[in-house]
Structure formats: C-alpha cells, structure tokens
Structure 1
Amino acid sequence: MRETLRHIHIILAVLAALVLPLTACHELDDYDNDALGVFDCLWDEMDCHYCYFEEKGVDWNEVRERYRKRILPGMTQEELFDVCAEMLAELRDGHVNLSSPFNVSYYRNWWTDYPEDFDYRTVQQYYLDFDYRTTGSIDYKILPSNIGYLRYPSFSYAVGEGNLDYVLAYLSACDALIIDVRGNGGGMLTNIRPFVSRLIHEDMTAGYIRHKTGPGHSDFSEPYPVVYHPAESGRVVWSKPVVVLTNRSCYSAANDFVSVMRQTPGVIVMGARTGGGGGMPFSSELPNGWRLRMSASPMTDAQGNSIEDGIDPTPGYEVHAPASELAAGRDAILDKAIYLLSK
C-alpha cells in the first residue's frame, strides 16, 4: 500500500499539469472546416496552450503573418498539411506534431543535426559477446571488469518492480553499475520512478512543473515539486557507484530521467548532451479531424533550470563515440565508463 501511494503521488503531480490547462480557448464550432479555418484553429490552439514561445524567442504573431498568406482557396489537404507542418517546425520542438490520415509532422533536427555516439550492435558484439540476460525491456550483464551493465531502450516500456529486483540482485556482486539510455527516445514519465527509487535513500525533489493558467504566453501557475521516493522496504536497492550513458537521442522522458540522475548522489552522467523535450504534451483536434500535439506544461530541474533544450553530462564527463570507431568495435563512451569505474 505504501508503494502504491508513492506511485500515486508522482502520477498526480503529472496529471495535475495535464488536466488543469485543458480549458479550451476556442471551440471547434468557431472555425470553418476549410483551409483557413483549419489554419486559424491550429494557430490559436498553439497560441493558447504552447508553453515555450518566450523561451525559444519565437514571435508567434509574426509567424502567423508569414504563413497565413500561403493558405489559398482550393488547396489540397496535403498542401495545407505541408504549410502547417512547416510553420510548426519554426518552434524546433520534437513534442509538436500534426497528425493526419496520410502523414505526421515531426521536427527531427533536435537529433539529426548531431552525431549518434551509439551503436547497440557494437555493444552487443564487442562488449556483451551476444551473451546477456533480458527481462522485460532490459538487457543486462556482468562485464569482465565486474561492472554491471544495464541497457534500457525506451521509457515506453514499463519495468515491473519484480523485474528490477531480479536484475539488481543478479548484479549485486558487481562493484559498480552502468545504465545505458543512449537512443532512448522517451515514453511515460511514470516509468522513471522505479529506476530512481532504487538509487535514492531519502525523498528527493528532482524538479518542478507548471501549467498554463490563461491564454497569455507567460500565464503559468507557480511551480510545484516533482518528488521521488525511495523503494519500499524489502526491494533490492543499489548503493554503489553508477554511471549513466547518454547521447543526443535521449529525449522526453529519457531527458527527464537524465536530469534526475544529474542530481542523484553517487551518479555520474557521461556521454553527450541529451536532446531535450522538457514539456508535458497536450493534444487537441482541428475542424477537419487532424490531431495537434504540443508542449504545454514546462518542467525544470531542482534548481529551476529549464530542461527543454537538453541536459549536459556531469562536468568533465562529456565523451563522444565517433562512428568510425563504433564501426571498428570500439565504444569510447562505454570504454570511459568502464575505465572510471574500474579505478
């Protein structure tokens, strides 16, 4: 029961930020189901609910003036979609998507403009020797240097408390632990909780979240804390050194996890800056049935710093893994972590 209440605490903090801003600024009936009506509805919904205009320095009114001129009578749905998607890309936000029956817009430059610094095939072949355990979505193994390796590819996959007990019990004889979340594009924030709970020994305020309180770009509630709790008695916990491996493709929930890890005692974050994605998404519908998703509730770390543009590694631990070296069987980020933890 105690663990359930702790879980509910986190869920309520997340849901509060999602539910409170859902008051519509406009009704669908206010717009015609034509190209201009769809465009105006999309622009208004973003204007009312999107949370990063000021942080990103985007003049949304100026953007409207430029793109509305391109909305023409008789344009096809595909043409309308392309104009709207191009406008949304001005926000440089991977959480902003327009979904239609024939396409989904997605801003990819948050990761495509950067090196990948990771190839799991290289890790599997040269470090795990294609011989490792898997439970749920976790791959894990004891490396020759007596360091535990744990790979978690997506926070979309829930990990049961029992699964974590098995994994950590198996790795308990190791001197240290590597948690590899490179390439983890996010998922559910609630799936962060089980991992964090095994690495902390007292309640930890790891960040803050706000929600929109009005249509103005700066209309936000006061920040309220997101608190993590230690695992309940009887669960297997980890008290030895930890290194978390990151790259630019860590996004959304993975980005938040790395932010929490940066503040967790005994944990070093190593690799490349994450991709960001610090806003809780909100979705709405347009007159023609398309779905619009956007960042609506901004999140920060415990010091109040925005996590939207990514999290840097622990100072002194930025490491990159060039593609040429990965192709040759060497992962410089993983090598550095093993070397550090073997000292």
Structure 2
Amino acid sequence: MKRCISILCTLLASLFLVSCSTEKEFTADPYANYDTLWQILDRNYCYFDLKLPEGTTWRDLYHKHRRDLRPKMTTDSLFLIMTELLAELKDGHVNLSSTFNLSRYWKWRTEGPRTFDAELVERYLGEDYKIAGALAYKALDYPDEGKREIPLGYIRVASFNSGLSDGNVSAALNRLRDCDGLILDLRANGGGQVSSSELLARHFIDKRRHVGYMSHKTGPGHNDFSRQIPIYIDPLTRGTIWLKPVFVLVNQGVYSAANDFVLRLKGLPHVRIIGVKTGGGAGLPMSSELPNGWGIRFSASRTYDTAGKDVEFGIEPDIKVEGELKRTDEKDLFIDASARLLTVWIKAIKKHLKK
C-alpha cells in the first residue's frame, strides 16, 4: 500500500511540475521545442547528480547542443540534436518519441562481456518445457549428462511486459515442487511492468519485508526531493510460496522492473543473486509532451536499497561469475555455474539438517 501511495505522490508531483509544458500551443519552431525539452528535464529529471558528465552542468549541455539548431531545419535534424542532448544522460529511461522515431540509450545492456545467448537457453529448455504466462520452465536436464543428482527447477523470465498472473506463477512452482532448488534466469530481462515484478517476488516471501526506499521530485530544483519513503512487499494471501533455495541469475541486461525484482529478493535467507552486476534503471519514468507533439519520457523518482544506496547503476550479485559466452559455445557457463553452486548449497543445507 505504501508503494502505491508513494507512486501516487510521484504522479501528482510530476503532473504539477510538467503541466506548464503540456499547455503550450502547438508550434514546430525548433528553438521553442528544444528549450521546452531542456526545461522539462531541468525541472523534473531526478539523476543530474549521477548522470552529468564530470565538470559539466545541464546548462552547459543546453548551450552545447542548441548552437546546432537552425530556424528552418528538418524534423529529422531537430530530432537528432535533441537525441544527442538526451544521450548525455546515459539513461535507458530517457526517450524522445515522435511519429517517425524513438530515441533510446541501450549501452547498459550492450556494453561489457557477452553473458547471455538465447539459443543456448533454448538448448537447456529443450522441446518439452512448459509456458505459464511470461514464464518458461522445466525440471533441469543438462545436455548429454542426464538428470542431476539433486533435481533443480529452471524458470526463464524473459520480460515483465508479457502477461503474468499469480495463477501462472503458482502453476509453475507447483509443477516444480519435487525440485530441491530453483534457478530464476532473469538475464536480458529489460523490465516492463513493476506490478508484474512485484507479483512474482511475492511468491518467494512468507512475511512482510522492507526492501528499500524511494523519493520523488517535489520542486524544480535539481535537489528538490521528498524524504526517502520505505518500500515494503507483502506475502501472498493465496497461492504457492517457494521457500526452498533459489538462485536468481542476472546480467547487465537486467533493467528497470527486472532490477526492481532483484532488489526485492536480495537479502532473503533462501535466495542468492548470481551472475554479473545488473544494468540498473531504478528511476520511475514519467512522461510529458513538447509543443510539436513529440513525447518525452524521463526518470522522475529514485530508488534505494535498504542501506540507502541508490541502485540506478545496478545491483551487485552475491556470487559473481566470471567469463564470457562465445558464439561457438555449446554450453552456458552461467547456467552451469548456477546449477553447480546451487547443488553445493543444497547439499550443505541437507547435511546441516541431519546433524
């Protein structure tokens, strides 16, 4: 409930702050549109202290790119200049949209070593896996190795954009109930709906849990923020809850709502995050409109972990896996490492319980 209240506060605050831009009359003037774009972000964007190039102010960037404008320039040229301004922020949640293009910043998922290969994942899933909404799952077999000594479940969560219900999650977990542990593969999950992320996370907790904080813009100043509001997640009242060992497999492609999912599960006693640092994207995006009708989306609130650390640049795994996938690889070293280490952990737990 508090999460909903805080999001509502963010919506109300942002609507108040950007209302001046949406009430402007239509104009195609490149200078007016550029100035409006710059001002919307100047008043409402939440990560200037983290994103601006060192030794540079937002005003500096205004002048740097505005000098490229021309009175009768084409819409494509104007779009490009605006995109270059936005690219300075290196934020995957900052997008300019028009009828002919969408600007985007995707280096958070493309830079760094190659840590995900969809074809390798398909090889591990085989042909007999099941699909429950956005989840693809099966009891894990290894190519050419047969059943593992300790049965493990594998769930591929490719996106939080697709439909996902408690019924989907409960169905998958029930059908994996004979497994002693579970690998949740979130790699390359670029996010989607926060509600779907939270829905999935609730199936792995048995009591109310404090998972972090958020704060939203309260005024036009770059440092005008609300106090940090606690974020809680509540367990299910109906449905299947999984409290056996879980490895959440992540990489730099885990962003936005997927990063939020990792934040919610990190620190649980039966969960370990494994892989490489997530891509981040912890800002709650909001939208506004330019005088020419183009849309602008931007990060308008900040998310922190329980220690108060901003997670915009990602979340470190509990267990880091070194290495890189090659296009000629026949096995996924990240799934292999997860299965091997999860098996070791489960054996240690069983040994401890026998004492």
Q: TM-score, normalised by structure 2?
A: 0.89
3-state secondary structure, aligned to 1:279: coil
Alignment check: 8 A CA contact 1:98 1:291 kept: yes
In 1: Cα distance, 2:267 partner to 2:70 partner: 51
1:19 to 12, 37, 62: 12
Does 2:164 match 1:159? yes
One-letter identity of the residue aligned with 2:70: L
- Cα distance in 1 between the residues matched to 2:25 and 2:227: 31
Note if contact 2:187-2:251 (Cα within 8 Å) is conserved in structure 1.
Answer: yes
The aligned runs of 1:115-126 (5 Å cut-off) are 115-125=113-123
Alignment-derived partner of residue 321 in structure 2: 319
Partner of 2:103: 105
Task: Please list the CA deviations of residues 106-133 of structure 1 after superposition, one character each: whole Å capped at 9, or x if unmatched.
Answer: 11221222223111221221x2332211
In 2, Cα distance between equivalents of 1:43 and 1:335:
47
Read off the aligned partner of 1:152 and give its amino acid letter: V
* Equivalent of 2:239 in 235, 241, 245: 235
Say whether the 8 Å CA contact 1:187–1:254 is kept in structure 2: yes
Distance 1:14 1:187 in 2: 16
User: What's the CA shift for 1:16?
Assistant: 2.8
Question: Are 1:55 and 2:34 an aligned pair?
Answer: no
Shift of 1:30: 7.7
Please list, as runs of the form range in 1=range in 2, the aligned pairs for 1:261-272 lying within 5 A after superposition. Answer: 261-272=265-276
| 1:264-343 → structure 2 map (5 Å cutoff) | 264-314=268-318, 317-324=319-326, 327-343=328-344
Identity of aligned residues (%): 40
Q: Larger deviation: 22-31 or 258-267?
A: 22-31
1:147, CA displacement in angstroms?
Answer: 0.2
The match for 2:174 is: 169
Please give the per-residue CA displacement for 1:144-174, whole angstroms capped at 9, x wherever unaligned: 3210101111111232111111111111111
The equivalent residue for 2:131 is 134
Residue-by-residue CA offset, 1:165-220 (whole Å, 9 max, x unaligned): 11111111111010001110001111122222121121111111111110000000
* Residue correspondence of structure 1 range 137-152 to structure 2 within 5 A: 137-143=134-140, 144-145=147-148, 146-152=151-157
Check the 8 A contact 2:25/2:291 in 1, yes or no.
no
- Output the amino acid matched with 1:262: K
- Answering whether residue 85 of structure 2 is matched by residue 87 of structure 1, we say yes
Structure 2 residues not aligned, in runs of 5+: 141-146, 345-355
CA RMSD of superposed structures (Å): 1.7
**How far apart in 2 are the matches of 1:283 and 1:106?**
15
Where do 1:222-261 residues align within 5 Å? 222-232=227-237, 234-261=238-265
Distance of 1:311 and 1:327 partners within structure 2 = 29
The Cα of 1:22 is off from its aligned counterpart by 1.7
The letter for the 2-side match of 1:100 is S
Q: Deviations over 1:58-102 (max 9, x none)?
A: 510110111111111111111111001001000000100000111
How many matched pairs? 331
- The yes-or-no answer on 1:210 pairing with 2:215 is yes
CA contact (8 A) 1:18 1:211 kept: no
Task: For residue 168 of structure 2, give the secondary structure of its aligned residue in structure 1.
Answer: helix
Measured after TM superposition, the shift of residue 103 of structure 1 is 0.8
Give CA deviations for 1:250-307 in whole Å, capped at 9, x if unaligned: 1111111112222222111111111111100010000100000000111111111111
**Could you tell me which residue of structure 1 aligns to residue 40 of structure 2?**
45
Change (3 A) 1:31 1:217: farther
Cα distance in structure 2, aligned partners of 1:15 and 1:114: 36
Decide whether the 8 Å contact of 2:134 with 2:160 is kept in 1.
no
Letter in 2 for 1:24: L
CA distance in 2 between partners of 1:57 and 1:102 (Å): 28
User: 1:201 and 1:334, CA in 2 relative to 1: closer, same or farther beyond 3 A?
Assistant: same
Distance 2:86 2:240 in 1: 45
Mapped partners of 1:156, 1:198: distance in 2: 18
